[in-house]
């Protein structure tokens, strides 16, 4: 019961964020951007601009690839690949997403600390989220508080990952909007507002994930405290 009360707001926020990102994306996937370039071309231009403005020529070597799926776009810091789900689209939504991924590539080139921290946290967070629940459940049934505590520590790594993701994502979107305007690709206030809407909706899904993770952690801590009594 407590679990439902605690997690319900996070679940509702997650559902809302999911709906918001899908509907906003769908809306602007139908609106052609006035620059007339494809998402892949926009990414290339922004990377070239970043290479000059940051003095990081390696940004020109970032490979732009196609990736299957919907909204699967991402930048991979290990292979220096920027992957787009709709590289040939000229829609505002896809251009906004491509600019956001270029923002991640610029973070990588600029050695933006939260991005490096997030990359480092990936394996720890994956292991932590896999081990947390079995440890806590085991501790609960075996009446072993230490096991629950271990599970909580494991889960903390997963929570840290979702929290570090927030500045990384907000910063990538901020860079995206700056880049699009500096290069003159998206300058009309209506188009800037549209890109902002798409990127804010995407950011909301990360906020929802972080909120759910934090509330889950709070719940685990409460289980631990009740076990000790």
Enzyme catalytic residues: 101
For residues 39 and 172, which CB has a smaller minimum distance to Zn ion in the complex?
172
- Give every CB contact of residue 120 below 8 A, 6+ residues apart in sequence: none
> Order of strands across the sheet with 74-76?
63-66, 81-84, 74-76
Residues that bind Zn ion (CB under 5 A): 169, 172
For residues 94 and 169, which CB has a smaller minimum distance to Zn ion in the complex?
169
Strand partners, 75: 82
Residue 214, both tokens: 């934090």
| Burial degree of 139 (CB within 10 A; 0-12, 13-18, 19+) | buried
For residues 133 and 206, which CB has a smaller minimum distance to Zn ion in the complex?
206
Among 73, 17, 66, residue whose Cα is nearest residue 200: 17
Q: How far is the CB of 168 from Zn ion (least distance, A)?
A: 7
For residues 108 and 169, which CB has a smaller minimum distance to Zn ion in the complex?
169
Residue with structure tokens 């922004």? 46
Q: How far is the CB of 115 from Zn ion (least distance, A)?
A: 10
Q: How far is the CB of 207 from Zn ion (least distance, A)?
A: 13
What DSSP string runs through 170-193?
HHHHHHHHHHHHHTTSS-SHHHHH
């Amino acid at each position: 019961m407590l679990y439902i009360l605690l997690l319900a707001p996070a679940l509702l926020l997650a559902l809302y964020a999911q709906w918001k990102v899908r509907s906003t994306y769908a809306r602007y996937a139908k609106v052609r951007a006035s620059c007339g370039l494809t998402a892949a071309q926009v990414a290339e231009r922004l990377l070239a601009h970043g290479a000059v403005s940051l003095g990081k020529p390696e940004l020109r070597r970032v490979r732009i690839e196609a990736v299957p799926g919907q909204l699967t776009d991402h930048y991979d810091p290990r292979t220096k690949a920027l992957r787009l789900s709709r590289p040939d689209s000229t829609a505002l939504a896809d251009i906004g997403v491509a600019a956001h991924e270029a923002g991640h590539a610029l973070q990588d080139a600029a050695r933006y600390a939260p991005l490096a921290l997030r990359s480092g946290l990936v394996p720890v967070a994956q292991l932590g989220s896999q081990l947390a629940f079995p440890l806590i459940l085991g501790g609960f049934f075996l009446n072993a508080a230490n096991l629950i505590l271990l599970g909580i520590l494991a889960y903390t790594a997963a929570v840290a990952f979702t929290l570090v993701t927030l500045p990384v994502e907000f910063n990538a979107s901020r860079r995206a909007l700056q880049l699009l305007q500096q290069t003159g690709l998206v300058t009309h206030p209506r188009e800037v507002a549209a890109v902002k809407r798409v990127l804010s909706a995407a950011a909301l899904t990360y906020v929802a994930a972080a909120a759910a993770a934090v509330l889950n952690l709070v719940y685990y801590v409460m289980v631990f405290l009740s076990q000790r009594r």
